Amino acid sequence: MRQKLITLCPNSFEIAQKKDNFSLWVRKKLLEENDLPKEEYLFKCKACNLQRVYPTKAVRNCSCGWKLTLVPSVQLQLPEVEE
């Protein structure tokens, strides 16, 4: 991560204070406007071999009950898929 200093007016500062994670919110808003593909991370379940791709490295549980393990050497750049 890299830092970027921003200046807020008193009103926008009050709004920012109410965000649980203002930096994360700013990053998400910037990426929404950007045409670059989003980072995706591959996880695998050691118990049932299920594989899933998620947008963050946050630990998740598999539907079988085991924790999904991040496949560390894989960082995929996938285009956004419309639903």
Query: Which residues, 6 or more positions from 39, have their beta carbon under 8 angstroms from its beta carbon?
Result: 55, 75, 76, 77
Sketch the domain layout of the chain as residue ranges.
7-35, 37-83
So what's the pLDDT on residue 82?
56
Instruction: For 29-83, write each residue's pLDDT tens digit.
Output: 887 887 666 678 889 999 999 999 888 888 899 999 999 999 876 555 555 655 4
pLDDT at 3 over 70: yes
- Choose between 10 and 82: higher pLDDT: 10
Query: Which residues, 6 or more positions from 43, have their beta carbon under 8 angstroms from its beta carbon?
Result: 51, 52, 53, 54, 60, 68, 69, 70, 71
Start-to-end Cα distance in the chain: 30
What value does the mean pLDDT take over residues 8-23? 94
pLDDT at 25 over 80: yes
